[in-house]
Chain A
Amino acid sequence: MAPAVLLRAVVALTGRFPALAGVDLTVEAGQVVVLEGANGAGKTSLLRVCAGLLPVTSGQAEVLGLDAGRHVRSVRRSVGLLGHAPSLYDDLTVFENVRFSVRAAGSGEERVEEALALFGLDGRLRRTGAARLSAGQRRRVALATLVARAPQLWLLDEPHAALDAEARELLARVLTAAVAGGATALIASHEPASSLPLADRVVSLAGGRVVASGPAAAPRRSDAHVA
């Protein structure tokens, strides 16, 4: 079966700046990979390339067996991205926001209720306008949307930021269930300790390239980069 993510010598530019300067990464289906690295190392850009949001200037990028350049829309339909900032419509309620995303993806609307209930967003919060939510609550809504869409590839950018312990727990459970069902996950974090329990592999990024990669338990740094 095709790997979930296949990146070879990928160079991607944001403006004139090479956010990714030659990335090689292969992620098999059903794996959970944690991307770690300092700010500016290229974690977000890598996730965006996998989401089909950032075009690749050179190199090969295949997501779920599809070329990320030629089959962008198919890629996006099968991928779920949790970005830094949640993309919510301020003037719509929590329920309406999630329902819009679910309908857009063509999934059934029962999932909306399930997802909302799972993250404690039913009840009073359901009818609250998105503008009045706290950062943590917005994150939960974004997560609920993701869960409701049930993508094959989960791309999580700093998911633990703004999430309280309970929500982190929920995320871990949801992710484990999804992976058990065959999904793959890429988690970018500069606080990798929180995600380690879930991870099969940890990949280190620096300067837009992969500098180290290894199983979660083993030392994460290759010998060439002694701190």
Chain B
Amino acid sequence: MWRDAALVAGKDLRIEARSRVVLHQVAPFAVLVLVLFAFALGPGRGPMVHAAPGLFWVAVLFATVIAVQRSYGVESTEATRDGLRMSGLDPAGIFLGKAAALAAVLVVLEVLLGVGVVLFYGASVHSFGELAVASVAGTVGLAAVGTLYGALSSGLRARETLLPLLLMPVAAPVLLAGTRAWQAALGTSGAGAGDPWLRLLVVFAAVYLALGVVIFGPLQEAA
């Protein structure tokens, strides 16, 4: 399973490195979202600083939807989907590989967005470690659910509209917890207030990774 996961992750990442879709399209889109929020909330710094953690995670959520669609876009034809099924790869491995590649791409995006948030909204970081851990945990959770729902909707006719509808509600706890954790890390809420949220993010990631490993096999057969 792990070998297969590494193989698939490598393949997805190599494709991304070659085609640079995330770099050239998704990243600018995410930055654009931040700018639009500034239009909506600004120009005074106050509301923006206060909302910065939440805005960060909303932007991440939007970017996740697009990144998931891209991740499954490389297997957009029935032929490539068949190819993946015929390949003999362990479905759990395919799931972990795709989720890992997605998470890696999202983390890079988040670094970009994080810098953007600090720059644009004037937020200041108190606890970088907490910030990093929260972001990674949240990202892994998003990648897991995203990979699951992406597989579910790939090949379906209404997939562009279906994916956000399916993904957003399930990802809502990540938005909630991530925002609170970031608030703690940015010092806008009390000390130690981020801990329960951090735990929630880790639990979310663990639960959906485990679920994905178990359920991806049966799921693939519906392609």
Contact = CB atoms under 8 A, between A and B. Distances in A.
B88 interface: yes
B4 A92 contact: no
A53 interface: yes
B82 interface: yes
Contacts of B11: 89, 92, 100
Interface in A148-200: none
B88 A92 contact: no
Contacts of A91: 14-15, 18-19, 74
Interface string A68-89: 0000110011011101111111
Among B14, B85, B86, the one with the most A-chain Cβ atoms within 10 Å of its Cβ is: B86
B18 A92 contact: yes
Nearest to A73: B88
B88 A104 contact: yes
A84 B89 CA distance: 22
Nearest to A129: B18
Nearest to B21: A91
B83 interface: yes
B127 interface: no
A76 B82 CA distance: 11
Q: Is the interface of B mostly helix, strand, loop or mixed?
A: helix
A76 B83 contact: no
Interface residues of B, number: 22
Interface in B20-63: none
B14 A86 contact: no
A51 B15 CA distance: 27
Among A51, A79, A91, A105, the one with the most B-chain Cβ atoms within 10 Å of its Cβ is A91
A106 interface: yes
B171 interface: no
B79 interface: yes
A132 interface: no
B14 A96 contact: yes
Contacts of B124: none
A83 B85 CA distance: 13
Nearest to B12: A89
B74 A87 contact: no
Contacts of B189: none
Given A76-B85, A89-B11, A92-B15, A83 B221 contact: no
25 contacts: A51-B82, A53-B85, A53-B86, A55-B221, A72-B221, A76-B85, A76-B87, A77-B88, A80-B86, A85-B78, A87-B79, A87-B80, A87-B81, A87-B82, A87-B83, A89-B74, A91-B14, A91-B19, A91-B74, A92-B11, A92-B18, A100-B7, A101-B87, A103-B7, A129-B18
